[in-house]
Amino acid sequence: MLNYNSPIKDSKNYSEIKISEVETTAKINLRGKNRDFITKVGKELSIIPPTDPNTSSGNDSLNILWLSPDEWLIYSNNKIDQKNINDLEDRLYNSISKVKIGSVSNVTDHWVMINLKGAKVYELLSAGCPFNFNKFKNLKGAVTQTLINHTDVIIHNKNNNDLNIFVRRSFSNHLWSWMNDSAKFI
Amino acid sequence: MSKNLRILNNKFIDQTSRISFKFDGKTLYGFKGDTLASALLANNIHLVGRSFKYHRPRGIMTCGSEEPNAIVQVGKDHSMTEPNARATEIELYEGLEASSQNCWPSVNFDIGAINNFFSPLIPAAFYYKTFMWPASFWEKYEYFIRKSAGLGKSPTEPDKDIYDHRYLHCDVLVVGGGISGIIAAKMAAQNNFNTILIDDKNNLGGTTIFQQNECFKINNSFSNEWLKKEIESLNSIKNLTIKTRTTLAAYHNYNYLLARENLTDHLNLNEKKDKIRQRLWKIRAKKVIISTGAIERPLIFNNNDRPGIMLSSSIKKYIDYFGVKCGQKISLFTNNDSTYETAISLSNSGVNVNSVIDIRDKSNSSIVKNAEKLGIKIHWKHTVINTNGYKKINSIEIMKLSDDGNGVIGKKFKEECDCLGISGGWTPRVHLFTQSGGKLKFRDEDNVFLPDKSELNQVSIGSCNGDFELNEIIKNSVSSINKFLKVNNNSYENLEIISSKEVDKKNIWLLPSDKPLGKTKPFLDFQNDSTAKDVKLALAEGFKSIEHVKRYTTTGMGTDQGKLSNMHALGIIAEIAGVKMGELGTTTFRPPYTPLTFGTIVGRNVGEFFDITRKTPIHDWHVDNKAEFENVGQWKRAWYYPKKNENMHDAVQRESKAARDSAGILDASTLGKIDIQGSDASEFLNRVYTNAWSKLEIGKCRYGLMLNEDGMVYDDGVTTRLGENHYLMTTTTGGAANVLSKLEDYLQTEWPELDVYLTSVTDQYATVSICGPNSKKILSKVIPDLNLSDEEFPHMSYKNGLINNIKCRVMRISFTGEHSYEINIQSSYGKSVWEKCFEAGKEFNITPYGTETMHLLRAEKGFIIAGQDTDGTMTPVDLQMNWIISKKKYDFIGKRSLYRSDTIREDRKQLVGLLTDNPNEVLEEGAQIVAETNKKPVEMLGHVTSSYYSPNLKKSIALAVVKNGKNLKGQKMFVPMKNKIINVTITDTVFLDKENKRLNAKL
Amino acid sequence: MFLINCPYCGERDQSEFSAGGEAHIVRPKQPTELSDDQWAEFLFMRKNIKGVQFERWNHAHGCRKWFNMIRDTSNDKIHAVYKMGEKPPTK
């Protein structure tokens, strides 16, 4: 057996902020330009990739985040085992990449997902993030790519004061430390 | 404490709560609400510092951020002391310790003051002129100059306080919480603008909040009472955030502003611990309203710098706000009406006002009449020509002004005083407006620069916009805000405002004396000790630009940035040069408005957070196994793994030998990985690499060199064809982000017709590299199902595999020249696979090696490292890698540049090998290479790019770039070092196994 | 610190972007047929105007898209942003 090692394996509580790593959600990067691509993804997943900037679409199991006019990130809401991740990747790869209408890359381990919950999450973000959350915080499903303390992140407004933040694995320990340090001073 | 200097004042100072503090080692007392300056004045201490050049005694002059003199050193601990803090802005707290600076041995007896007697010998730019020549003498002068000059001492240890940063986005930012700022904030917030009001003081209200004078009334209340109610009404308004103790430091383009909030500086010592001391707010405002008020101007006359000479409005604040008398016998000297407010306040508080010396012929305003009614004596059309008193003013000399104002007439007379209030009119604080790029206009009537044109969404209101009278401030502010916010608020329209109106104005920049200018000391810049005489001298010496005069005389270059001095310097220059002030322009106001500590600027980006650190999925194993780490970009990479008592050299020699003799294992996870998909993927690779890709079979790997359009090597790496339209590209560790960005650039801008998609998967995979003659045996233990025969799995090919049911890709590629495999597996299993390989390799003494050994092994084989052996000036031809340039391809990035006249020169620097005559002598990387040692100047032919002692070859090896190197094989060269010359021979770049026997050995 | 209106993502802080030099310099389709001088013109010559300048920018920490910007280098005023391949606005 190989041991599964996520980089953070932790969850912390502060006054009105909870920070936790969410392990083994599937993440797949999709790229494509034409209508066939959108239709195919919609057919395979029963979710249409959003074409409005800074938005997402989804159902009970999956979310599709808009990253750019030709790029999306799919992630699962729940923990999902290795085989199902592979199956999802293969299904999408065969119906999209193989037929030359776009690209499908498994980025499950490329991104680490950190969940931020609580009334003061936006105060925590304001310590290192130049993005203006004034509108974002009231738009459920809103997505942004920006920087938190000089580190690239994707932020998904999952619910009121409930955010999923995606950070590249190699940066995740540093961002985790920074978030915990900042949370002390909120 | 001398009790008679305090009057009862319960509004702003809590006289029931006494605070002890130390100044220059002496314990003193003040009250909660005091500043250090008000507490010192209450203790009858005016003398707080020495001037910069002449070391003249200087006293507290103002009550705010414009203070030039009362700058002190805070903190008892030398390692943690903070210099240049303004006593007028330090809120008193229990345990505060402060001391005078720029004086030695003490503020009362300062040896440097001898400069004062030599002052005729120390004119403008004295230091520049005297110590410029001969240059070598500077070292000798410097010690003494530094000791006697300089402003305060720097702390010697890292700042223990905590600082942080916050971003803030708002609709309206109001800077300054005086009467106009409060009206603005209220109007904005009431109209649903998300509004922030900041003020640098601990209380809102500016100067109006202590203005209790019959001449200034709103709706039949004193203006302070009216304003107090307005402030109270702010509490119930939504959308409004008020930040006090917050100074705007910088106003940048696009309404991006930086403000420093003081969170703990006013707290008692024992309350500060573990809290953020100062916070830097990074504010992005849709609209900015500047209501920063005005600074009172001093008057420029002989000996105008003695302790006890203060701005008249400050004397008023000390009595009305702090309840502190700045003197017992106060004289006032003015050219405008506002001093009469001070006179009335003093008189109402029972302080004896000797007289008001007013340079004007008369004034008929109501405030002057009220002062006269109180029996205050006024010397119309008189001026102060001199002051007396060394450490504190004790008398002034007065004479009548001539009709033209250029001279004095009549008999001089003396007036005894212990404090002199001076008022030269008002200067709008336009600093922030100009910082933001706004242009100023000049108003001749009262000689002020006012905000004019701005590209930004902002407006200035109140006295910073040139409105100095209460009714104008309110009326004009309200109409400006209505227009600016496009609202229609008429709640202030029907206010009944009583306000004294000043009609008689007179301004003389440099007041005359009975002595000629050469014999007087009229100070312009109090902190930097420049006088009107210095400015005249600069002009006489030919300086014309205001920016040059400023630097030559250092006027306005102190920590106060000339807040008090600039206008007079401009006025005097304009007069002498015979130009209008408006045409002369001003010097530039640069941020920060008041000095910031470095701590505030860097926030939490210290220590662990100084820079981002990236870690591989196997990082913890390296830590557990005592690896030393090397920074490669932001990555922490295992550098070498020292065993007990091993130094770096020993460890690297052992690791390098083991990797060639049996087996080595390297964490290569940091290499950039780009997933390339799309029907034009092969064509795309043809265009970005120098070699051809179309014919690469699925399942095969190929090394590629990437150039810039200028033909210079940019990056390199191995790319694997995973499928018909699918490749995995690897890049160098440091180049990953730039390569992806460059490739995206070409796809988006030059070749949008190509059907290619790039996705970074660098962090998706951990890469475990096993090399050495036993690598095959080890891999067969880890993945027993994989056929590792050379036929099935040759060098430069890849296979999919499964390790305990987890998918992985295995590439047979080599950066060491050894038989070697790289396992790519999703990162979460990286550490586990590494451990499995390590376990499987134990019987073969598998040795973990770090980046240093990797570099050594590849150098033995002459493989380049892009960025170490190349530096942006090397073409593939320079690297003697002509084999990698496709002759058949019509175009690729950089191709055309490979036959520019410059790139085809034979005598370019080319990559070669170097062997030292003494095989034990290891060259220094960066060392210069020459052909002759006697010829001068010595011609540098090149330098060493990589150098190691090879344990496998038992000699020193190096790579170098040398002019015309490829034609110099076998030539002797020299590497001159500090104390020796090393003899070297130019060789081929491949030192070990030229025939690739190791790579192709049957294992 | 500019506030830049990414044509795809909307207004963002400058720190999310990287600048990419002068815009509308098209890479020659047939570089091999150019003289040294013609190639040098493409490779090296840039205007660096004081005043209104056409520039390339990349929303590097956002959607990663390149776009064009018209900016006055004397006061940093951004007059317009537009997508790659689009013609600059005429006004």
Distance between CA atoms of residues C29 and B158, nearest Å: 57
Supply φ then ψ for residue B131, to 5 degrees: -100, 10
Identify each DSSP E strand in A41-126 by its residue range: 56-58, 62-68, 71-76, 103-106, 111-117
Q: Is B895 on the interface with C (CB under 8 A)?
A: yes
Domain count, chain C: 1
B903-999, what's its fold? Answer: Elongation Factor Tu (Ef-tu); domain 3 (2.40.30)
Residues 6 or more apart whose CB falls under 8 angstroms from that of B3 comprise none
Q: How close C86 gets to chain A, by Cα (Å)?
A: 16
Q: Is B745 on the interface with C (CB under 8 A)?
A: yes
Residues 6 or more apart whose CB falls under 8 angstroms from that of B442 comprise B448, B449, B450, B580, B581, B582
Q: Looking at chain B, which residue has its C-alpha nearest residue A186?
A: B276
Q: Looking at chain C, which residue has its C-alpha nearest residue B708?
A: C43
Residues 6 or more apart whose CB falls under 8 angstroms from that of B121 comprise none
Q: Residue C39 belongs to what domain range? A: 3-83
Q: How close B99 gets to chain C, by Cα (Å)?
A: 38
Distance between CA atoms of residues B60 and C83, nearest Å: 59
CATH 3.10.20.440 intervals, chain B: 3-117
Q: Is A147 on the interface with C (CB under 8 A)?
A: yes
According to the model, what pLDDT value does residue B356 have?
98
Paired residues of B821 in beta bridges: B770
Q: B516: closest CA among B535, B504, B532, B530?
A: B532
Q: How close C20 gets to chain B, by Cα (Å)?
A: 9
According to the model, what pLDDT value does residue B560 have?
83
pLDDT tens column, C41-67: 999 999 999 999 999 999 999 999 999
Q: Looking at chain A, which residue has its C-alpha nearest residue B802?
A: A2
B3-117, what's its fold? Answer: Ubiquitin-like (UB roll) (3.10.20)
Paired residues of B415 in beta bridges: B396
Distance between CA atoms of residues B995 and B198, nearest Å: 74
Q: A149: closest CA among A121, A182, A116?
A: A182
Q: Is A4 on the interface with C (CB under 8 A)?
A: no
Let me know: does B469 contact B454? Beta carbons within 8 Å: no
Report CB contact under 8 Å: C84, B752. yes
Residue from B261, B278, B764 to probe the interface with A (highest A Cβ count within 10 Å) = B764
Pick A130's closest partner by Cβ from C15, C64, C65. Answer: C15
Any chains having at least 3 CB pairs less than 8 A from chain B are A, C
Pick B896's closest partner by Cβ from C20, C31, C75. Answer: C31
Q: Is B165 on the interface with C (CB under 8 A)?
A: no
- Examine residue C46 and state whether it is found in any structural domain, yes or no: yes
According to the model, what pLDDT value does residue B562 have?
85
Single pTM value for the model: 0.94
Share in percent of chain A as helix, strand, coil (round to 5):
30, 35, 40
- Examine residue C88 and state whether it is found in any structural domain, yes or no: no
Residues 6 or more apart whose CB falls under 8 angstroms from that of B150 comprise B102
Does domain A14-184 sit in CATH 3.30.1360.120? yes
Distance between CA atoms of residues B61 and A82, nearest Å: 74
Q: Which residues from A are below 8 Å from B761, CB to CB? A: 105-107, 110
Q: How close C56 gets to chain A, by Cα (Å)?
A: 18
Identify each DSSP E strand in A15-133 by its residue range: 17-22, 27-31, 56-58, 62-68, 71-76, 103-106, 111-117
The answer, yes or no, to whether residue A91 has pLDDT greater than 80, is yes
Residues 6 or more apart whose CB falls under 8 angstroms from that of B388 comprise B303, B394, B395, B396, B397
Q: How close C38 gets to chain B, by Cα (Å)?
A: 11
CATH number of B672-761: 3.30.70.1400
Residues of chain B with confidence (pLDDT) below 50: 1
Q: Name residue A95's amino acid.
A: S
State the DSSP code for B92.
P
Count CB pairs under 8 A between chains B and C. Answer: 55
Identify whether C7 is preceded by a cis peptide bond (ω within 30 of 0).
Answer: no
**Alpha helices for B771-893 (secondary structure H):** 775-782, 830-841, 851-860
Pick B256's closest partner by Cβ from C1, C18, C27. Answer: C1
Q: Looking at chain C, which residue has its C-alpha nearest residue B889?
A: C32
Tell me which residue has tokens 């005598």.
B907
Interface of B with C in 563-592 (CB under 8 A): none
Any chains having at least 3 CB pairs less than 8 A from chain A are B, C
Report CB contact under 8 Å: A2, B807. no
Distance between CA atoms of residues B821 and B811, nearest Å: 6
Interface of C with B in 11-70 (CB under 8 A): 13, 18, 20, 26-27, 30-32, 34, 36, 39-40, 43, 56, 58, 60, 64-66
According to the model, what pLDDT value does residue B47 have?
93
According to the model, what pLDDT value does residue B837 have?
98
- Examine residue C40 and state whether it is found in any structural domain, yes or no: yes
Q: Which residues from B are below 8 Å from A32, CB to CB? A: 757
Residue from B278, B612, B839 to probe the interface with A (highest A Cβ count within 10 Å) = B612
Cβ count within 10 A of residue B411: 7
CATH 2.40.30.110 intervals, chain B: 903-999
Q: How close C32 gets to chain B, by Cα (Å)?
A: 6
H/E stretch holding B948: strand B942-950
Pick A170's closest partner by Cβ from B276, B678, B763. Answer: B763
Task: Please tell me whether residue B631 adopts helix, strand or coil conformation.
Answer: strand
Which pairing describes strands B256-262 and B276-290: parallel, antiparallel, or unpaired? antiparallel
Q: Which residues from C are below 8 Å from A54, CB to CB? A: 9-10
CATH 3.30.70.1400 intervals, chain B: 672-761
A51-75: average pLDDT: 97
The burial class, CB within 10 Å (0-12 / 13-18 / 19+), for C29 is exposed
Distance between CA atoms of residues B569 and B550, nearest Å: 8
Distance between CA atoms of residues B988 and B879, nearest Å: 11
The CATH number of residue C33's host domain is 3.30.2270.10
B162-294+428-498, what's its fold? Answer: FAD/NAD(P)-binding domain (3.50.50)
The predicted complex's ipTM stands at 0.98
